[in-house]
Homo-oligomer: A and B are copies of this chain.
Amino acid sequence: MNLRELADELGAELVGSDGEEEVAGIRGLESAAPGHISYVEDEARLRQAEDGPALALIAPAALRESVKPLLLVANPRLAYARALGLLGHAEGRLPAGVDASARVGADVVIEEGAAVGAYAVVGDGARIGRESQIHPLVVVGSGVTVGPECVIHPNVTLYDGVRLGARVIVHAGTVIGSAGFGYVQDGDRHVRIPHTGTVVVGDDVEIGANVTIDRGTTAATVIGEGTKIDNLVQVAHNVKVGRNCILAGQVGISGSVTLGDGVMMAGQAGIVDHVSVGDGARGAARAGIMSDVPSGTVVMGAPARPRGEQLRIDAAARRLPELLRLVRGLARRVADLEKRLRGPSD
């Protein structure tokens, strides 16, 4: 592909070149080599990039002047993501069809173009959508529905009855639909509550590696469409996650929590059970959310508080040892004043 063809694919305006140069690949600014495309988001990064070896740069339309050819777009990061899809190493795809070694149960529907890899096990009554990829060593339980154009990476387990929408990506080692963690105490013993619900995952969801999502007690645990879940995240039984949410690495969502749309939880944040988090709310890294969070609020700390309040508390905490000394000094001085005025009045 040459620069002109890439610009056309991205809908970019090409300046500083007639577009004949061949594009060797696409890399981040730090690792770009001659022939590579990269991207910049502001003038400072553009000037820095001009000293580097990159062939040309994806840049915001406001930055027209450069010694390098520019591909001008409204959103450089978005264009970079698209260019990576065009120019990056294509992910391996399994050949369509069912591998001879895969174990496929009764009444399974495998739609056109779908692939089932080596030693995958597909239970009775499951349905694998058009063009979906079931990688080797995956278990698709009985009655599971996998929508069209999904990718299920190796060693994933989908328990019986789980339902995935279209274009869902599930990374290796993830478990969806295991029994929720619910017991009734009977004296000292914990008696298991059978979990007869399921998990429903919406369209365009991506789920990282070694994630766990438990099935609902009698209804469904729900992951809303467009939501992205990072590695090692725990989603407990009966949770409802809205659309287009972001759950970063090692986040933990306890049972029966409700997240609105566009909620973002940073790494290692946690939410206790039955809490409700409003649309567009955000939890900072390590936030420990113990109570409902209104829409649009950013919370930090544990117990989590609105960001401004928590920052003031953190700043004050840093001054705590000094404060202690100051108060002790004041106490001495007040006692001295009282003595001079012949003791406290009461």
Q: Is A244 an interface residue (CB 8 A)?
A: yes
Residues of B within 8 A of A249 (CB): 181, 212, 234, 236, 252, 254
Q: Is A157 an interface residue (CB 8 A)?
A: yes
Q: Is A208 an interface residue (CB 8 A)?
A: yes
Contact A286 B313 (CB under 8 A): no
**Complex CA distance for A230 and B234, rounded to whole angstroms:** 10
Contact residues of A between 229 and 257, Cβ < 8 Å to B: 230-232, 234, 236, 238, 243-244, 246, 248-250, 252, 254
The winner among A175, A228, A236 for most chain B CB atoms within 10 A is: A175
Contact A173 B337 (CB under 8 A): no
Residues of B within 8 A of A266 (CB): 272
Q: Is A210 an interface residue (CB 8 A)?
A: yes
Q: Is A178 an interface residue (CB 8 A)?
A: yes
Residues of B within 8 A of A92 (CB): 123, 141-142, 160
Contact A336 B330 (CB under 8 A): no
- 1/0 per residue, CB under 8 A from B, across A281-297: the answer is 00001101010000000
**Complex CA distance for A122 and B87, rounded to whole angstroms:** 26
Kindly report which residue of chain B lies nearest to residue A142, judged by CB atoms.
B92
Contact residues of A between 198 and 218, Cβ < 8 Å to B: 204, 206, 208-212, 214, 217-218
**Complex CA distance for A323 and B330, rounded to whole angstroms:** 12
Contact B226 A154 (CB under 8 A): no
Q: Is A42 an interface residue (CB 8 A)?
A: no
Known contacts A119-B137, A141-B92; decide if A190 and B244 are in contact (CB<8 Å).
Answer: yes
Q: Kindly provide the distance from the CB of A206 to the nearest chain B CB, expressed in whole angstroms.
A: 7
Contact B272 A270 (CB under 8 A): no
Q: Is A2 an interface residue (CB 8 A)?
A: no
Residues of B within 8 A of A323 (CB): 316, 323-324, 327
Q: Of the candidates B84, B194, B218, which one forms a contact with A193 in the assembled complex, judged by CB atoms under 8 Å apart?
A: B84
Known contacts A161-B89, A249-B234, A341-B340; decide if A212 and B209 are in contact (CB<8 Å).
Answer: yes
Contact A316 B305 (CB under 8 A): no
Contact B270 A286 (CB under 8 A): yes
Contact B341 A78 (CB under 8 A): no
Q: Is A188 an interface residue (CB 8 A)?
A: yes
Stretch of A4-12, A15-23, A27-35, A61-69 with 4 or more beta carbons under 8 angstroms from chain B? A27-35
Contact B189 A178 (CB under 8 A): no
Residues of B within 8 A of A204 (CB): 189
Q: Is A60 an interface residue (CB 8 A)?
A: no
Q: Is A168 an interface residue (CB 8 A)?
A: no
Contact A218 B172 (CB under 8 A): no
Contact residues of A between 301 and 345, Cβ < 8 Å to B: 302-303, 305, 309, 312-321, 323-324, 326-327, 330-331, 333-334, 336-338, 340-341, 344-345
Q: Of the candidates B103, B178, B183, B331, which one forms a contact with A119 in the assembled complex, judged by CB atoms under 8 Å apart?
A: B103
Residues of B within 8 A of A246 (CB): 183, 190
A-B contact pairs, 9 of them (CB 8 A): A84-B218, A103-B118, A157-B173, A181-B208, A189-B204, A234-B249, A234-B267, A316-B321, A323-B323
Which 3 residue pairs across A and B have the least CB separation, nearest first? A88-B196, A157-B172, A316-B320
